[in-house]
């Protein structure tokens, strides 16, 4: 039986720093509100003309991960790409990364699970490796939020939260059953799909229809979020996904060396930290600097934590996410 372990990590964020104060120049918001409610101090937004896009950032992060894995691009068998903000409606970002990295005609799969995207993508890649089908898989999470936010006061409850960026790992086959991904746990509850949604343009709400309406209040092409409803569900589902993994692996919360929660809101992460009685060294947060980068957030945080020597050989690392769908899940890793 094969197992899969992370052999390389990397992340990329655009250079352009946008502080809370910067936002207050074009919408009615302020640093105090944003920090108090979300913990966010600044985020990165792609600068026009920089050439960055969801796929380009994904490819940049992937290059770093690949380099650190010590593998050649020819040794990668498959790409799993998670995003809610692909460069094009179709095709997805995975094929663009395949082309940008000049890879052979390997398969490329896009995962559409919003903030849980990277957790889902890791689970998919893990199954391909455990069955023996593939040896090395690039797993990428990337988002360009700034290109599609309502940056007026009307959209402030959503726009101040999101940032751009990408992260990637190389997941590789190992025969050491004590190391690597121990288990993954995935869930969804589609009845809440419209509580956190971007409805159009889509086949249900196509561009000509939106334009024909000529309704200035029609903002269905911007993300909508029922913030407090999402918040309440997030804290419950985060906890469930962690408990499920602990039980499956006969572990206690105190065994967790590093929890890397999806960076949706610092208050959610702090709630989870308190609930599981984890100390500050056991949880990694970087929402202060990058905002919520959705499918990229867990992998950016994981990669940054690893880069800061927060992860040691043999550590129990837990990834957990919750987001639009609703979807949620966790990944338990013995490093
Ligand atoms: N600046 C200043 N004031 C604001 C802002 C802003 N940016 N945004 C909203 N407000 C105002 C509102 O208008 C409201 O004013 P009122 O009381 O006069 O009506 C007040 O602040 C409170 O607004 P709420 O929306 O109730 O604020 P809340 O405390 O719920 O915080 C937040 C909002 C931060 C979005 C929070 O609900 C949250 O974090 N929710 C969960 C997010 C999450 O987990 N998302 C999942 C992942 S995302 C994904 O999957 C794509």
Query: Which of 308, 307, 260 has the alpha carbon at shortest distance from 285?
Result: 260
Q: Does residue 175 contact residue 200 with C-beta atoms inside 8 Å? A: no
Residue with CA at minimum distance from ligand 1 atom 9: 157
Would strands 107-111 and 42-44 be described as parallel, antiparallel, or unpaired? unpaired
What is the secondary structure of 282-313 as a DSSP string?
GB---HHHH-B-GGGHHHHHHHHHHHTT---T
User: How many beta carbons lie within 10 A of that of residue 89, not counting itself?
Assistant: 9
Distance from the alpha carbon of residue 13 to the mean position of ligand 1, in angstroms: 24
Beta pairing partners, 165:
143
Evaluate: CB of 37 within 6 angstroms of ligand 1.
yes
Provide the pLDDT for residue 166: 98
Q: Does residue 56 contact residue 144 with C-beta atoms inside 8 Å? A: no
Distance from the alpha carbon of residue 180 to the mean position of ligand 1, in angstroms: 37
Residue with CA at minimum distance from ligand 1 atom 32: 227
Evaluate: CB of 115 within 6 angstroms of ligand 1.
yes
pLDDT in tens, the chain (335 residues): 899 999 999 999 999 999 999 999 999 999 999 999 999 999 999 999 999 999 999 999 999 999 999 999 999 999 999 999 999 999 999 999 999 999 999 999 999 999 999 999 999 999 999 999 999 999 999 999 999 999 999 999 999 999 999 999 999 999 998 899 999 999 999 999 999 999 888 888 887 777 788 887 888 889 999 999 999 999 999 999 999 999 999 999 999 999 999 999 999 999 999 999 999 999 999 999 999 999 999 999 999 999 999 999 999 999 999 999 999 999 999 99
User: What domains, with CATH codes, occur in the chain?
Assistant: 3-174 (3.40.47.10), 180-334 (3.40.47.10)
Tell me the catalytic residues. 115, 262, 292
In angstroms, the CA 112 to CA 193 distance is: 13
Provide the pLDDT for residue 332: 98
User: What is the chain's alpha carbon radius of gyration, rounded to the nearest angstrom?
Assistant: 19
Evaluate: CB of 234 within 6 angstroms of ligand 1.
yes
In angstroms, the CA 277 to CA 258 distance is: 13
Evaluate: CB of 296 within 6 angstroms of ligand 1.
no
In angstroms, the CA 183 to CA 132 distance is: 16
User: pTM for the full model?
Assistant: 0.96
Q: Buried b vs exposed e over 25-63: b needs ≥16 C-beta within 10 Å? A: eebebebeebeebbbbbbbbbbeeeeebbbbbbbbbbbb
Residue with CA at minimum distance from ligand 1 atom 26: 228
In angstroms, the CA 121 to CA 109 distance is: 9
Tell how many helices (H) and how many strands (E) occur in the chain.
Answer: 11, 13
DSSP-derived secondary structure letter, 162 = B
Distance from the alpha carbon of residue 152 to the mean position of ligand 1, in angstroms: 15
């Amino acid at each position: 039986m094969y197992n899969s372990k992370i052999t390389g990590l990397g992340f990329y964020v655009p250079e352009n720093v946008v502080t809370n104060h910067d936002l207050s120049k074009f919408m009615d918001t302020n640093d105090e509100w944003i920090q108090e409610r979300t913990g966010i101090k600044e985020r990165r937004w792609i600068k026009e003309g920089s050439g960055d896009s969801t796929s380009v950032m994904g490819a940049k992060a992937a290059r770093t991960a690949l380099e650190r894995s010590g593998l050649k691009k020819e040794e990668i068998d498959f790409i799993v790409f998670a995003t809610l903000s692909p460069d094009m409606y179709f095709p997805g970002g995975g094929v663009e990364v395949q082309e940008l990295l000049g890879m052979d005609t390997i398969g490329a799969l896009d995962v559409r699970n919003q903030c849980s995207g990277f957790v889902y993508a890791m689970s998919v890649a893990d199954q391909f490796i455990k069955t023996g089908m593939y040896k090395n898989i690039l797993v990428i999470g990337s988002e360009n939020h700034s290109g599609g936010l309502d940056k007026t006061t009307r959209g402030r409850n959503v726009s101040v939260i999101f940032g751009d960026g990408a992260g990637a790992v190389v997941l590789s086959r190992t025969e050491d059953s004590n190391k690597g991904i121990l288990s993954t746990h995935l869930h969804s509850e589609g009845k809440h799909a419209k509580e956190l949604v971007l409805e159009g343009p889509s086949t249900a709400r196509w561009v000509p229809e939106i334009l024909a309406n000529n309704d200035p209040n029609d903002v269905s092409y911007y993300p909508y979020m029922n913030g407090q409803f999402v918040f309440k569900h997030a804290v419950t589902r985060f906890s469930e996904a962690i408990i499920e993994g602990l039980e499956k692996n006969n572990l206690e919360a105190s065994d967790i060396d590093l929890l890397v929660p999806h960076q949706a809101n610092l208050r959610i992460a702090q709630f989870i930290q308190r609930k599981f009685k984890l100390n500050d060294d056991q949880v990694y947060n970087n929402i202060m600097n990058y905002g919520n980068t959705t499918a990229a957030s867990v992998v950016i945080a994981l990669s940054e934590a690893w880069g800061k020597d927060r992860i040691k050989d043999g550590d129990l690392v837990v990834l957990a996410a919750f987001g639009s769908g609703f979807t949620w899940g966790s990944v338990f890793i013995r490093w």
